[in-house]
Structure 1
Amino acid sequence: MRGKTAEDLKLLELIDPVAEAAGYGIVRLRLMGGEHARRLQIMAERPSDGDMNVEDCARLSRAISEVMDADDPIAGEYTLEVSSPGVDRPLTRLADFATYEGHEARVELDRMAEGRKRFKGVLAGVEELNVALDIDGEADTALIPFAWIAEAKLVLTDNLMKRGADIRAARLQTEQPQQTSE
């Protein structure tokens, strides 16, 4: 899910070690467009706190650009975009489903299950290689094999917005110089 196409996955193999060495994790990579005006879109975050500010984006963009220029894996011109996954982020790794337990998500499968491919509900954690989801209108928690998930994304809710605000407030608190009294 971090990459959709074979070309995306090949680029991830190249870029993942660069991102990790710089202190970031790639959430999603997409190479979009045809032969002309292609765009390489990378969503990343700091694994320590899930944050990604403008300086982080610039730092990671420079590190990736160096490798991309040296290796030249994309034919023709392209634009590199590095961004934060945002508050209503895509869920692309099994660990994401555990991290955001208790939050609403939309999940789309690559196959039919119980007569449908799309589900919405509250994330209820992870059991082995399955995502637990309390589906709207269902009494029991569903276990969805992670391998069946084509796309998943958090739903923007007040609860999710509060989580983001709390994380930003905590970051600002640690970034401010401490006052000392004599």
Structure 2
Amino acid sequence: MSNKVAEKTEELVQPILKELNLNLVDIEFEKEGKNWFLRVFVDKDGGVDIEECGQVSEKLSEKLDNEDPVTIPYFLEVSSPGAERPLKRREDFHKNIENTIYIKLYEPLDDEKEYEGILKSFEEDIVTLEVKVKTRKKEIEIPFEKIAKARLAVTFN
């Protein structure tokens, strides 16, 4: 059910975002405790403010009420993706070259399922990540289709 809700929500929210010059980052429909949450993460260059999130929420809420794709009670939340934003689309990887990212894989690569490092390149569906191994830096290549989750990683120097 959650995939269908996310797909329908994306279909409904895209015209709103286009009108407001915002970008869709992610949509989640998940249960926390006994409550369901429909979360829509939006952004633009320079970031989004609370008024923009409110506009999207108001307009999307109206469309969701009319189309009624969700048959159970839920809470709608529209927000910025924050510092550790998810990387889902290929363009997300292209935009974040030289940033520190965290990647979780479906299956181990070199006996590891999780990596954190600097995104060096993304070409031909291969993510090249510079990781630290003890005191050395090394580059690893990760096929895009093996990535279960990826997000920006906040580092403190």
- What TM bracket, shorter-length normalisation? 0.7 to 0.9
Assess, with a 3 A threshold, how the Cα gap between structure 1 residues 97 and 153 changes in structure 2: closer, same or farther: same
- Name the Cα RMSD after superposition: 2.4
Match of 1:8 among 6, 9, 14: 6
The whole-number CA distance in structure 1 between the counterparts of 2:145 and 2:152 is 18
For residue 140 of structure 2, what is the aligned residue in structure 1?
142
Match of 1:38 among 28, 36, 39: 36
Overall identity of the aligned pairs, in %? 31
Cα displacement string for residues 1-56 of structure 1 (whole angstroms, at most 9, x for unaligned residues): xxx8454344334433443343222111111117953110111112xx15111111
Cα displacement string for residues 73-111 of structure 1 (whole angstroms, at most 9, x for unaligned residues): 001211100110112222222222222221211100122
Aligned length: 154
Q: For structure 2, which runs of at least 5 residues remain unmatched after alignment? A: none
Assess, with a 3 A threshold, how the Cα gap between structure 1 residues 80 and 121 changes in structure 2: closer, same or farther: same
- Contact 2:40-2:78 at 8 Å conserved across structures: yes
For residue 157 of structure 1, what is the aligned residue in structure 2?
155
Cα displacement string for residues 124-166 of structure 1 (whole angstroms, at most 9, x for unaligned residues): 121122222112227542222222211112221258xxxxxxx
For residue 51 of structure 2, what is the aligned residue in structure 1?
55
Larger proportion of strand:
2
Larger proportion of helix:
1
For residue 116 of structure 1, what is the aligned residue in structure 2?
112
- Contact 1:22-1:63 at 8 Å conserved across structures: no
For residue 173 of structure 1, what is the aligned residue in structure 2?
none
Assess, with a 3 A threshold, how the Cα gap between structure 1 residues 34 and 105 changes in structure 2: closer, same or farther: closer
TM-score by length of 2: 0.83
For residue 172 of structure 1, what is the aligned residue in structure 2?
none
Q: For structure 1, which runs of at least 5 residues remain unmatched after alignment? A: 160-182
